[in-house]
């Protein structure tokens, strides 16, 4: 892992160059604006909902943006011949997006803490942001591997959102109450993110926290292995090797 700090520094520089960090910051400001016009009673629910949407969608999309920009600049070819491991490369993508997600979290937390009087559980929020961002970066990478262009990746992500994300949101707002359906939802990655975020603003439920942590780490580990193994084939296809 000796190259990881260098790769991470380069990843953050590319995120600045491609305006990925700027875009993430702009989205965070939109979330803050949405919170600003609500009374204290509605802020608590919307705070976790907006964080949920951000953590489940933005890392996946930003990972795809980064990969396709690198393809256009020919950086993928350099990655194939550089003395770095694919594991380090994928880790740098994950950590870069985690950094962006934490910036969003800090901005939103400071707003609700200073202006809305909320006191969310910071360690749980940070854990949720790190795990969710890393997990969905891997989702974005895997979707990108199977896509010919960014539009194709977005279509793939829309399917992911319709199957996994939207049902969890409907359950979160109380639209669905069927117990069997909720059991099925426990198999959805966004459900693990949702329970961690909820645990940060309501009474701690350690069973839910353990479920969310184990799901995102164990399934995330499997996705990480798949992303590392699939990178070489993706890069070779994109550079025409």
Give residue-wise pLDDT tens across range 100-135. 999 999 999 999 999 988 899 999 999 999 999 999
pLDDT for 142: 97
At 69 the pLDDT is 87
pLDDT, position 240: 61
Count of the separate structural domains present in the chain: 1
DSSP of 126-175, one letter per residue? HHHHHHHHHHHHHHHHHHHHT-SSHHHHHHHHHHHIIIIIHHHHHHHTTS
Query: pLDDT by residue (tens digit) across 149-175?
Result: 999 999 999 999 999 999 999 887 777
For 26, the domain range is 4-239
- Whether residue 8 contacts residue 96, with contact meaning beta carbons closer than 8 Å, is answered with yes
Q: Report CA 8 to chain centroid distance, whole Å.
A: 17
Q: What letter does residue 84 receive in the DSSP assignment? A: -
For residues 212 and 196, give the distance between their C-alpha atoms in angstroms, rounded to a whole number.
Answer: 6
Q: What's the chain's average pLDDT?
A: 89
Residue 193: how many CB atoms within 10 A of its CB? Answer: 27
Tokens 């993430």 -> residue: 24
Segment-wise mean pLDDT, segments of 10 residues, the chain, 241 residues: 82 86 90 85 86 96 90 76 85 95 95 91 96 98 93 96 93 78 90 94 86 96 95 78 56
At residue 1, the pLDDT reads 55
Contacts (Cβ under 8 Å, ≥6 apart) of 196 = 124, 127, 128, 131, 132, 208, 209, 212, 213, 216
Q: Is 15 within 8 Å of 21 (Cβ atoms)?
A: yes
Please, are residues 47 and 118 in contact by the beta-carbon 8 Å criterion?
yes
What per-residue confidence (pLDDT) applies to 3?
Answer: 82
- How many Cβ atoms are within 10 Å of 192's Cβ, its own excluded? 26
pTM of the model: 0.93
Q: Which residue is listed with tokens 């989205």?
A: 27
pLDDT of residue 110: 95
Centroid of chain to Cα 10: 20
Residue 83 token pair: 């003395």
What is the model's pLDDT at position 204? Answer: 73
Closest CA to 52 of 133, 114, 124, 118: 133
Q: What token pair was written down for 78? A: 């350099």
Tell me which residue of 129, 156, 125, 124 sits closest to 140, measured CA to CA: 156
Residues contacting residue 194 through CB under 8 Å, at least 6 positions apart: 48, 52, 168, 172
Would residue 39 be called left, alpha or beta, if left means φ above 0 and alpha means ψ between -120 and 50 degrees? beta
pLDDT confidence of residue 112: 93
Q: How many angstroms separate the Cα of 174 from the Cα of each of 167, 168, 170, 171?
A: 11, 10, 6, 5
């Amino acid at each position: 892992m000796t190259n990881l700090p260098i790769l991470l520094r380069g990843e953050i520089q590319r995120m600045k160059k491609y305006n990925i960090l700027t875009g993430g910051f702009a989205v965070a400001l939109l979330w803050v604006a949405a919170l600003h016009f609500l009374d204290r009673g509605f802020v608590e629910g919307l705070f976790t909902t907006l964080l949920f949407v951000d953590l489940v969608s933005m890392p996946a999309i930003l990972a795809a943006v980064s990969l396709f920009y690198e393809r256009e600049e020919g950086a993928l070819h350099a990655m194939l011949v550089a003395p770095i491991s694919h594991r380090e490369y994928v880790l740098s993508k994950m950590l870069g997006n985690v950094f962006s997600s934490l910036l969003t979290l800090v901005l939103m937390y400071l707003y609700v803490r200073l202006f809305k009087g909320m006191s969310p559980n910071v360690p749980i929020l940070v854990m949720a942001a790190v795990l969710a961002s890393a997990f969905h970066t891997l989702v974005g990478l895997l979707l990108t591997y199977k896509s010919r262009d960014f539009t194709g990746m977005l279509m793939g992500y829309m399917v992911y959102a319709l199957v996994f994300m939207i049902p969890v949101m409907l359950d979160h707002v109380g639209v669905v109450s069927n117990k069997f359906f909720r059991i099925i939802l426990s198999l959805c990655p966004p459900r693990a993110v949702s329970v961690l975020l909820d645990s940060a603003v309501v009474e701690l439920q350690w069973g839910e926290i353990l479920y969310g942590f184990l799901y995102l780490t164990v399934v995330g580990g499997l996705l990480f292995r798949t992303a590392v193994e699939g990178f070489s084939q993706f890069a070779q296809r994109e550079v025409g090797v």
